[in-house]
Amino acid sequence: MRKNSAAKTEPARRGIPSVEKVLQSLPESRLPRPVILAVVRRELAKLRVANAEIPPPDTILEQINRSLAALERSRIQPVINGTGILIHTNLGRSPLGSTVVAAIQAAAANYNNLEFDLASGARGKRASYLEHNLALLCGAEAATVANNCAAALVLILRHFTSGKRKEVIISRGELIQIGGGFRIPDILAASGATLREVGTTNRTSLRDYERAINSGTALLLKVHLSNFYMGGFVEFPPTADLAALARRKKLPFVEDLGSGAVVATEQFSGVDHEPTPAEVIKQGADLVCFSGDKLLGGPQAGIIAGQAKHVNALKQEPFFRALRCDKLILSALQSVVDQYLAQPTGGTTPVLKMLETPLDDLRLRAGQLVTQLAGLPVKATVGKGKGQIGGGTLPKTELESVTLDLIPKQLPLAEFAARLRQGPLPVIGYVAGGRFKLDLRTVFPEQDNPLLTALRNAL
Ligand SMILES: *Cc1c(COP(=O)(O)O)cnc(C)c1O
């Protein structure tokens, strides 16, 4: 209230409407009233600066409405993903299946045994069931979970470089950047580790690692290239050789897998093999870390699996407490892991389901959508698309797909795309070859009707 009255006492300038007046003229909004008030005050304050040209009242109102709409659009909300990119980091990575969502719902709405031992009635271990089953899924002695894979890697690096030995040996070819802001050299520096790069961008031999090992070496690190690939004159030692070298030198060997698929990805047509945590651990890695919300198809998390002595030591780190996940994430991940154990092909995971959807199914849906758009001012056809897995996973893989191709008759393509993004249920597609395209692989079948409504509204 105090702020409200303060607004009234600000020096009036001719032509600037009062806050009260603006509030009365605004249409209904879902935004909380203090938020609307803050935006109105900010917009009016811009006009109060000396020499600002004062536009007509309608223009002022329009500008305020635009600001309010822009703010409201930035609220996290469901969108339809027509990009064909399965794990789209900008669109929240992996969507969760209904069983997982139900698990979150149950944990969220009730008390639970997060850290309570139901047998003894005393304090219990956090996430012990999940850790047990994760270890099983990864063929590891033990496993645990941090906030995300970046956090998991920082935890590991800090742990092994907290003593006198600071050096982390890594190939020059693996000093990668993933998405916005995750750069391996910076992560190492932030963890207090000293980077000891070996080899060259395209070739690193086992000898290179061996020669670099000295009394200051803390660990050997291998990082999955994730979002790019190299071809031609390329050599990197396999995990098994690095693991053997590390064992000989009594050093820990850690592999950051990034995506961490737990299924054989080569079962999907056109998809390469992605190293699984189980096979990398079998090849001798002491610890692996990977994301929960990439190819695993779960919630955001950073999974660490490997030797029990290392996992237990990591959990003892005071810093681990700052990286731990909450009950919602843990119950979601628990549900995901149990589903993989019950059904090792991952059949119920949305990301993997989308990956294996036959083109014929997509074609059928595209045809139905085209039929249902008849009579609207748009040329709609069934097209071809190339999707991707995304999320820095298997960047070489192109997923053949089916698109709904649209050329609006009364709108420029960019305007059509903007309207679709800004509707009540935003639709994200892409423009190629003079059409607006929606890749149906990443549109859930149950979204076909909401999609039609959004298209009708935009047209
Ligand atoms: C994606 C990725 C990360 C970061 O994972 P987040 O879960 O997003 O923190 C780390 N390392 C590699 C190799 C990755 O591909």
DSSP 245-291: HHHHTT--EEEEEET---S-GGGSTT------HHHHHHTT-SEEEEE
- Ligand 1 atom showing the smallest separation from residue 179 Cα: 1
* Cα 200 to ligand 1 centre (Å): 23
Q: Which two tokens stand for residue 348?
A: 């119920």
pLDDT-based confidence at 254, cuts 50/70/90? very high
CB-based burial of residue 155 (10 Å sphere; 0-12 exposed, 13-18 middle, 19+ buried)? buried
Look at residue 7 in the predicted model and tell me its pLDDT: 47
What lies within 8 Å, CB to CB, of 86 at 6+ separation is 351, 354, 355, 387, 388, 389, 390, 391, 399, 441, 442
- Ligand 1 atom showing the smallest separation from residue 291 Cα: 7
* Cα 332 to ligand 1 centre (Å): 19
Look at residue 2 in the predicted model and tell me its pLDDT: 47
* CA–CA dist 151, 153 (Å, integer): 5
Question: Which residue lies with its CA nearest to atom 3 of ligand 1?
Answer: 258
pLDDT(48) > 90: no
* Cα 258 to ligand 1 centre (Å): 5
Look at residue 5 in the predicted model and tell me its pLDDT: 47
Residue 164's nearest CA partner among 217, 219, 220 is 217
Over range 312-320, report the average pLDDT: 97
- Residues 363-373: pLDDT tens digits? 999 999 999 99
What percent of the chain lies above the pLDDT cut of 70?
97
Look at residue 440 in the predicted model and tell me its pLDDT: 98
Look at residue 413 in the predicted model and tell me its pLDDT: 97
Determine which helix (DSSP H) or strand (DSSP E) holds 167, and give its type and residue range.
Answer: strand 167-171
Over range 60-67, report the average pLDDT: 94
pLDDT(53) > 90: no
* Cα 178 to ligand 1 centre (Å): 7
Identity of the amino acid at 67: S
Which among 182, 293, 303, 394 is the best mutation to test ligand 1's pocket, defined by most ligand atoms within 8 Å of the CB?
182
> What rounded mean pLDDT belongs to the chain?
94
- Ligand 1 atom showing the smallest separation from residue 257 Cα: 13
pLDDT(323) > 50: yes
Identity of the amino acid at 96: L
- Residues 392-447: pLDDT tens digits? 888 889 999 999 999 999 999 999 999 999 999 999 999 999 999 999 999 999 99
Residue 225 contacts residue 176 (beta carbons within 8 Å): yes
Task: Flag whether the pTM goes above 0.85.
Answer: yes
- Ligand 1 atom showing the smallest separation from residue 150 Cα: 9
- Ligand 1 atom showing the smallest separation from residue 259 Cα: 15
pLDDT-based confidence at 294, cuts 50/70/90? very high
* Cα 337 to ligand 1 centre (Å): 19
- Residues 228-240: pLDDT tens digits? 889 999 999 999 9
pLDDT-based confidence at 378, cuts 50/70/90? very high
What percent of the chain lies above the pLDDT cut of 90?
88
Q: List the Cα angle 60/66/71 in 5-degree steps.
A: 130
Look at residue 3 in the predicted model and tell me its pLDDT: 47
Question: Which residue lies with its CA nearest to atom 12 of ligand 1?
Answer: 258
pLDDT(265) > 90: yes
- Residues 124-154: pLDDT tens digits? 999 999 999 999 999 999 999 999 999 999 9
Residue 279's nearest CA partner among 295, 303, 300, 263 is 263
The residues lining ligand 1, judged by C-beta closer than 6 Å to any ligand atom, are 148-150, 178, 182, 223-224, 226, 256, 258-259, 291, 302, 392
pLDDT(8) > 70: no
